[in-house]
Amino acid sequence: MQQRRLGRDGPMVGAVGLGAWSFAGSYGPATVEESHATLAAALDLGVTHIDTSNRYGDGISEEIVGAFIKDHPGRFSIATKGGIINKPVRRFDNSPDHLRAELEGSLRRLGVEHVDLYYIHRREQARPIEEVVETLVRFRQEGKIGGFGFSEIAPSSLARATAVHPVRAVQNEYSLWTRQVELGLLQASERLGTSFVAFSPLARGMFADTLPDPAKFSVGDFRVANPRFNAPHFEENRKAVGAFLQLASEMGHAPASLAIAWTLARGKHVIPIPGTRSVAHLRQNAAGAAIRLNDADLKAIEAVLPAGFAHGPRYSEQQFVGIEPYC
């Protein structure tokens, strides 16, 4: 597995990471056994960066990861997040006391005293980001975190935060069908020495060997309420992605491997974290790190999936709450 540095001063990690949201059932029921089998396979494949959050199953994902790393100490670089309150209503709290309590809870569930990366999962807009950075710097000075980052922020917010202290990573959705970050955040993160951690690089299952069937989504599956997986958008997206699946076959790659290779080609600071609880899917994802795309390959991909091809917004109005818009 090729290696990429997590931030300007962070650890070297496998170029392809692993998102652990699905361990908590975000895309259907999951078991501890299959999640742990996936983590074991990750070690064999050189997938060393694991991304989780206290909000993934209200701590379930962190507990599953923690139970595994207890017997495999020091083998993974762990990232987790805080700042979202879901009950009784969804809101965001980036205050020092709240973030400290969130971080302590995450460390307890993970069974560690330190994580390499701690994200603000969503910004509390009423609180200056400079103040939030000062809180995170204190956590770093205390040895609880190696570095910090922000999820779903605008380039201007990243610049403000970096003026106080270097930001190790930003995490935003990025894939062939979600490319808004190319309007500034991808460039700003590279310029500022910040890793760009791309979640959902496989378009929430659209770049699997077989296209998903929305009629078979389980209760609780995140995609049930997602516009791109509902009429009238899904049929158009299915047709467009079908052409990509055919192209991948012609190029001799699994669609997931090719989609990951495309994401890695967007910049040396980009680290995709596809989420899966399937060992077979993890192998395909990791294989993307070995593919080197030339200009002709990239043009062929762009021809079948040009920027902006996807039908429907990437989130519903409720799912968009807390995300910083820009450009």
Q: Which positions are catalytic?
A: 56
- CA proximity to 47, closest of 293, 291, 292, 284: 284
Q: In sequence order, what are the residues at sequence separation of 6 or more whose Cβ sits closer than 8 angstroms to the Cβ of residue 28?
A: 217, 218, 220, 221
Question: Which residue blocks in the chain are alpha helix, DSSP H?
Answer: 32-45, 60-69, 96-110, 129-141, 155-162, 185-191, 233-251, 255-264, 279-287, 295-304, 317-320
- CA proximity to 243, closest of 211, 276, 203, 281: 211
Compute the distance between CA of residue 24 and CA of residue 268 in angstroms, rounded to an integer: 30
Q: In sequence order, what are the residues at sequence separation of 6 or more whose Cβ sits closer than 8 angstroms to the Cβ of residue 65?
A: 20, 23, 39, 50, 52, 78, 110
Is residue 126 classed as helix, strand or coil in its secondary structure? Answer: coil
Is residue 322 classed as helix, strand or coil in its secondary structure? Answer: coil
Instruction: Return phi, psi of residue 249, to 5°.
Output: -60, -45
